[in-house]
A and B are shown apart, each in its own frame.
Chain A
Amino acid sequence: MPLAHTPSTVPVTVDDAKCIADKGCTVCVDVCPLDVLRISDLTGKAYMKYDECWYCMPCETDCPTGAVSVQIPYLLR
């Protein structure tokens, strides 16, 4: 899978201010069926490591703080 080099353009974006992965939360990483989300060693927050997404949405809906948002492409809406 291609690495996501520019976090601002990937489908799954994480609001660092709301993300509590640095406190031990791994919900979005656990629910992703493609296993493309990771916790950053640098910031302790979740991010999209691989630019691949099924737009299945559990990462967004299960996030306890509403930090994850999935941008669904216009043609898939």
Chain B
Amino acid sequence: MAVTDPFEAFGDVADLALDLADPDAAVRRVAVLALAETADPEAIPHLGGAVADPDAGVRRQAAEALGGFDGPGTAAALCAALADADPGVAAAAAESLTELKDPAAGAPILPLVAHADAFVRAAALRGLRNLRLATSLGPAVGALGDPEPAVRAQAVGVIAYLKSEEALPSLIGATRDPDAEVRRAAVGALAFSRHGHAGEAIGHALHDDDWGVREIAADALGRAGQGTGSAALIVALDDPYWQVRQKALRSLGQLKAHEAVPALLLVLADARPTLRKEAAAALGEIAAPQARAGLAAIADDTDPDVRKTARWALDRLPA
């Protein structure tokens, strides 16, 4: 019986790369897989070459494989693949760009923020987001004026990851964008700031026409930790969407908003178990003694999650 060596070498990169010139596309594809398996940075130029292969399947495989590598060489090859005529190759390259961590990878990506193709612009911004480069702030702020909503949403993502107070006016401006996706991203991004203007903008977003924006605003107010938002959150408890009401309940608990206790007690009788549970959890966080009777009333609720949360909340109340 043949014994397999578990530490068998994957093969020399130069030898494996020879198959990239094979006339059979399937052989070239297997060569790409083998090169990716080596995890050797020497494979990057070969995989970069495979991104220009005549077969779309090989190009897609190479774009996917480059996601396992890093550095400016990888970024340059992926940037070239972003403009591929095959949408599958371009999508694989865009996905792999998000895996880059080396700050040096930003150099080939940055110029693409001004590319003629909106897909490339959006993918470049998405790739820049994880790199958190200070140099990407200017191009991202500029991209907030892009005609394509997908590009503007990705630009908000870059600014959000940088958490720069300098970009706060741009983010606040994006909360009034005509596209709901951009507004959602901008409102969520503002949660990092403790600045009063950020809190005001999030509070304003609680009245947005899009319920998704209102939901994120209700969540962001809790994460932002600004007690001034509790009045707006109490109003949001009457929102027609239960998702918004749920986030408002959670945020009121996080803010330990004592003034919200009467409104929270009313939610303990809501028809939705998930809202009764959130209200009980918020009352537990606030630990207001006047909530004892209301919490005791739902300690035997029909829903087990509500019962568990109510009992947890009762334990937190001061004796």
A23–B33 contact, CB under 8 A?
no
B27–A64 contact, CB under 8 A?
no
B residues with a Cβ closer than 8 A to A are 24, 26-27, 29-30, 33-34, 57, 61
Q: Can you offer 22 A-B residue contacts whose CB atoms are under 8 A?
A: A20-B26, A20-B29, A20-B30, A22-B26, A23-B26, A23-B27, A23-B29, A23-B30, A24-B27, A24-B30, A24-B34, A25-B26, A25-B29, A25-B30, A25-B33, A27-B33, A64-B29, A64-B33, A64-B57, A64-B61, A65-B26, A65-B29
Count of chain A to chain B residue pairs whose CB atoms are closer than 8 Å in the complex: 24
Alpha-carbon gap, A25 to B33, bound state (A): 8
Alpha-carbon gap, A23 to B26, bound state (A): 6
Shortest CB distance A15–B (Å): 14
B24–A23 contact, CB under 8 A?
yes
Alpha-carbon gap, A65 to B55, bound state (A): 13
Residues of A within 8 A of B29 (CB): 20, 23, 25, 64-65
Known interface pairs A24-B27, A27-B33, A65-B26; 13 further A-B residue pairs with C-beta atoms within 8 A, sorted by A's residue number: A20-B26, A20-B30, A23-B29, A23-B30, A24-B34, A25-B29, A25-B33, A64-B29, A64-B33, A64-B57, A64-B61, A65-B29, A65-B57
Ordered nearest first, which 7 A-B pairs have the shortest CB separation?
A20-B26, A23-B26, A24-B30, A25-B30, A23-B27, A23-B30, A64-B61
Alpha-carbon gap, A24 to B20, bound state (A): 13
Residues of B within 8 A of A65 (CB): 26, 29, 57
Annotate A44-72 by CB proximity to B: 1 below 8 A, 0 otherwise: 00000000000000000000110000000
Alpha-carbon gap, A27 to B64, bound state (A): 14
Q: Which of A13-59 contact B (CB under 8 A)?
A: 20, 22-25, 27
Shortest CB distance A41–B (Å): 14
Residues of A within 8 A of B33 (CB): 25, 27, 64
Shortest CB distance B74–A (Å): 19
Residues of A within 8 A of B30 (CB): 20, 23-25
Residues of A within 8 A of B57 (CB): 64-65
Alpha-carbon gap, A50 to B27, bound state (A): 28
Highest count of chain A CB atoms <10 Å: which of B26, B27, B34, B57:
B26
Shortest CB distance A37–B (Å): 16
Alpha-carbon gap, A24 to B31, bound state (A): 9
Residues of B within 8 A of A27 (CB): 33
Residue in A closest to B65 when the chains form the complex, CB atoms:
A64
Shortest CB distance B155–A (Å): 31
Residues of B within 8 A of A64 (CB): 29, 33, 57, 61
Residue in B closest to A25 when the chains form the complex, CB atoms:
B30
Alpha-carbon gap, A65 to B57, bound state (A): 8
Alpha-carbon gap, A22 to B27, bound state (A): 9
Alpha-carbon gap, A32 to B215, bound state (A): 42
Residues of B within 8 A of A23 (CB): 24, 26-27, 29-30
Alpha-carbon gap, A20 to B61, bound state (A): 13
Alpha-carbon gap, A11 to B34, bound state (A): 27
Residues of A within 8 A of B61 (CB): 64
Residues of B within 8 A of A25 (CB): 26, 29-30, 33
Residue in A closest to B22 when the chains form the complex, CB atoms:
A23
Alpha-carbon gap, A65 to B64, bound state (A): 13
Shortest CB distance A22–B (Å): 8
Shortest CB distance A67–B (Å): 11
Alpha-carbon gap, A21 to B29, bound state (A): 11
Alpha-carbon gap, A65 to B34, bound state (A): 15
Alpha-carbon gap, A65 to B28, bound state (A): 13
Alpha-carbon gap, A23 to B24, bound state (A): 9
Residue in A closest to B61 when the chains form the complex, CB atoms:
A64
Residue in A closest to B27 when the chains form the complex, CB atoms:
A23
